[in-house]
Amino acid sequence: METATMVLLDIDYVTEEDMPVIRLFGTFMTEKGPKSIIALDRDFQPYIYVIPNHLEKCREELAEFNVVRVEKVGRKDLGRPVNVLKVFFKHPQDVPRLRDEIANLDSVDDIREYDLPFYRRYLIDKGLFPMGKVQIHGNFISSREYRGCLSEDTHILEITGEPVLLESDFPELKILSFDIETYNPKGMPRAEEDPIIMISLSSNEGLRKVISTAECDFYFVKTVATEEEILEEFMSTVKKENPNIILGYNSDNFDFNYINERAKKLGISVDLGTDGSSLKFMRRGFTNAALVKGRVHVDLYLVVRRYLSMDRYTLERVYWELFGEDKEDIPGNEICDYWDNGGLQLDSLFKYSLDDAEAVTKIGEKMLPLTMELTRIVGQPFFDVARMATGQLVEWYLIRKAFEVGELVPNKPSSAEHSDRRGKRAAGGYVKDPEKGLHENIVYFDFRSLYPSIIISKNVSLDTLVGDCVEGACHVSPEAGYLFLKEPRGFVPSVIGNVLSERVRLKTMMHQATDEREIQLLNVQQEALKRLANSMYGVYGFSRFRWYSLECADAITAWGRDYIKNTMKKAEEFGFKSIYADTDGFYAVYEGHSTSQEDSA
pLDDT at 145: 60
For residue 86, what are the β-bridge partners? 49, 71
Residue (of 566, 556, 559, 557) closest to 586 by Cα position: 566
Mean model confidence pLDDT for the chain: 92
Mean pLDDT, residues 89-114 taken together: 96
Mean pLDDT, residues 218-228 taken together: 95
- The alpha helices in 109-157, defined as continuous H runs, are 118-126
pLDDT at 448: 84
Neighbours of 583 (CB within 10 A): 16
CA distance 385 to 396: 10
Written as one string, the DSSP assignment of 321-390 is HHHS-------GGGHHHHHHH-HHHHHHHHHHHHHHHHHHHHHHHHHHHHHHHHHHHH-S-HHHHTT--H
For residue 590, what are the β-bridge partners? 576
CA distance 411 to 416: 13
Q: What is the pLDDT of residues 157-209, one digit of tens each?
A: 999 989 999 998 889 999 999 999 999 998 889 999 999 999 999 999 999 99
- The alpha helices in 242-293, defined as continuous H runs, are 256-266
Mean pLDDT, residues 117-128 taken together: 97
What is the topology classification, in CATH, of domain 1-165? DNA Polymerase; Chain A, domain 1 (3.30.342)
In terms of phi and psi (left: phi > 0; alpha: psi -120 to 50; beta: otherwise), the region of 276 is left
Using alpha carbons, list the distances in angstroms from residue 516 to 30, 362, 491, 512. Answer: 30, 19, 37, 11
The ranges assigned to domains in the chain are 1-165, 175-378, 412-586
What is the band of 600 on the pLDDT scale with cuts at 50, 70, 90?
very low
Using alpha carbons, list the distances in angstroms from residue 58 to 49, 53, 61, 105. Answer: 12, 8, 5, 8
pLDDT at 31: 86
User: In percent, how much of the chain has pLDDT > 90?
Assistant: 78
Helices and strands: H and E segment counts in the chain = 17, 25
Using alpha carbons, list the distances in angstroms from residue 197 to 5, 261, 272, 566, 582. Answer: 41, 14, 20, 65, 52
CA distance 482 to 487: 15
Is the pLDDT at 548 greater than 90, yes or no? yes
CA distance 85 to 73: 6
CA distance 11 to 159: 14
Reported as type and span, the H/E element at residue 565 is helix 550-573
Is the pLDDT at 580 greater than 50, yes or no? yes
∠ Cα 454 459 465 (to 5°) = 120
CA distance 402 to 410: 10
What is the band of 601 on the pLDDT scale with cuts at 50, 70, 90?
very low
Q: What is the pLDDT of residues 317-332, one digit of tens each?
A: 999 999 999 888 898 8
What is the band of 151 on the pLDDT scale with cuts at 50, 70, 90?
low
Architecture of domain 412-586: Alpha-Beta Complex (3.90)
Determine the CATH number of domain 175-378: 3.30.420.10
Contacts of residue 528, defined as CB under 8 A and 6 or more positions apart, other chains included, come to: 370, 373, 374, 377
Q: What is the pLDDT of residues 247-298, one digit of tens each?
A: 999 999 999 999 999 999 999 999 999 999 999 999 876 678 999 999 999 9
The two beta strands, 585-590 and 296-299, are unpaired
Residue (of 14, 78, 43, 71) closest to 158 by Cα position: 43
For residue 67, what are the β-bridge partners? none
Neighbours of 32 (CB within 10 A): 7
Mean pLDDT, residues 72-81 taken together: 96
Residue type at position 257: N
Q: 541: burial class by Cβ within 10 Å (0-12, 13-18, 19+)?
A: buried
Is the pLDDT at 96 greater than 90, yes or no? yes
412-586: same fold as 175-378?
Answer: no
